[in-house]
Chain A
Amino acid sequence: MLSVNHIRKAYFHRSVLKSISFEIQPGEVVGILGKNGAGKSTLLRMISGISSLDKGSISLFDTLIESGNIDPRKSLFYIGHAPGLYPNLSAVENISLALSLRNISSNEDDILETLKSVQLAKQVYEPIKVYSQGMLQRLKLALCELIPWEILLIDEPFTGLDTQGRVLTEKRIQDWVSPDKSILMVVHDMDWAISHCSRILVIHKGMIGLDEKTESHSDQIRNYYQGLMA
């Protein structure tokens, strides 16, 4: 499904990712762990097409993700650390725009219903610059519900969420798991990742330090990551 081959990225001569390779199959929920600055967010931005590759290739369904090729972007949906939406537009306008950019006709009733389902029924017509971090995260959840995707890339889905928001996000992520869809997410909570992801990738020194299934290697993942953080 998704194939990442020996990708490399450097910023101002500082290598962030030296050589990263892995494949993701349909149905997998992959958690990416690593220290701050390990390149986790950079990796997601490269897969989503926001950042260019210095070397290597990324392909989705055997089609290269590269400049000028818009087809892979139809199957991918990226939710970054920042809101990734226009602060002066309302929640409804931002969602309508995101759908229009994917040639999906938007029905305002559907949008309002989805916003209600993520506990964001109020202030839907106000500019999102007045939203709290938690409200912005809920808005991103609504986008994930409305936009059809086959691979979802999420960068730190629990940032700024209260307990209620965290429970809601966890439930949504579990609901999204299906045999024909994959989720790749950057997380910091190792225990959560082990219990909710089917596979863990740990990035260390610009390489894949560990790549294991959580079902059979949870202790190994735990020991490796704790050792890394010690």
Chain B
Amino acid sequence: MFITLLKKDLLLELRSKEIIISMLTFGVTVILTFAFSFNVSPDIMSTFAPGLFWIMILFISVLGLQRSFAYEKEFDAYSLMLTSPVDRGFIFLSKWMSGTLFLIITECAVALPFVLFLQLNIDVDLIQLFGVIVLGDLGIMVGGSLVSGLAMRAKMSAVLLPILMFPIVSPVLIAAVKSTVGLLNHDPFVDWQLWIRIMGSFTVIFALIGYTLYDHISEE
């Protein structure tokens, strides 16, 4: 059933491409703004880069989540999900996974402009960097998907989502920045493994909370 729901989320995006387009447009705009705002040496820029990157990802994820849950609200399509004999926890898992996938696709597209426009010298193991980014994405999206499920029934859901989401995902955001800094600075893993553990724990805990509670929070 999870696969059916995930395929549905991917098919919806394939048809409209609204999530990817809005995330990409925002990401590129932010990169250009950063590039033309900061007039500092590449060395100084590289110290700011992890923070700038994750702030950009946080805002991009909000856009993606809002659009993803808007698909469910249009035509009251969500009622088809809720009235079907489906474990509603799977609805949460599919939203989380599809959201993370869209975020990774967007990151792949904006990574090169980010490095080029900010004149960064990325001299690290790219697989490790990709792993840290994916873990951060999973953490941000798990919290965001849970909050989106809560907020989508509210009248001011577009306002509620960032208000509720930012404080909730702040631990994973800080951990993602710290891990990325550790990796880019070639610090020994032992120095920043705590942040990886925080991201992992956050993701697992919120995944379990979301899966368990989604049945209750998805009802009107």
Contact = CB atoms under 8 A, between A and B. Distances in A.
Contacts of A128: 75
Interface stretch (B4-12, B33-41, B157-165, B200-208): B4-12
A84 B75 contact: yes
Interface stretch (B80-88, B118-126, B169-177, B182-190): B80-88
Contacts of A49: 82-83, 219
B85 A70 contact: yes
Contacts of A67: 88, 215-216, 219
A84 B85 contact: no
Given A48-B82, A50-B82, 14 more contacts: A45-B79, A50-B83, A52-B219, A68-B216, A73-B84, A84-B76, A84-B83, A89-B11, A89-B15, A97-B4, A97-B80, A101-B85, A102-B84, A102-B85
A73 B11 CA distance: 25
16 contacts: A50-B83, A51-B219, A52-B216, A68-B215, A73-B84, A73-B85, A78-B83, A82-B75, A83-B77, A88-B12, A89-B11, A97-B80, A101-B81, A101-B84, A101-B86, A127-B15
Contacts of A70: 85-87
B74 interface: yes
A165 interface: no
Interface of B: 1, 4, 8, 11-12, 15-16, 71, 74-77, 79-88, 215-216, 219-220
A86 B12 contact: yes
B4 A84 contact: no
A155 B171 CA distance: 45
Interface of A: 45, 48-52, 67-68, 70-71, 73-74, 76-78, 80, 82-89, 93, 97-98, 100-103, 127-129
A68 B1 CA distance: 15
Contacts of A101: 1, 4, 80-81, 84-86
A182 B158 CA distance: 40
A10 to B, nearest CB: 12
Question: Which applies to chain A's interface (DSSP): helix, strand, loop or mixed?
Answer: loop
Given A85-B77, A87-B77, A88-B12, A71 B85 contact: yes
A86 B133 CA distance: 32
B146 to A, nearest CB: 16
A100 B11 CA distance: 14
Given A70-B87, A73-B84, A127-B15, A82 B8 contact: no
Nearest to B87: A70
Contact of A80 (B11, B76, B85): B76
Contacts of B15: 88-89, 127
Contact of B84 (A45, A88, A98): A98
Given A67-B216, A127-B15, A86 B86 contact: no
Contact of A93 (B11, B87, B215): B11
Contacts of A68: 215-216
A77 B79 CA distance: 11
Contact of A84 (B1, B16, B80, B219): B80
Contacts of B8: 86, 97
B155 to A, nearest CB: 10
A104 to B, nearest CB: 11
A48 B83 contact: yes
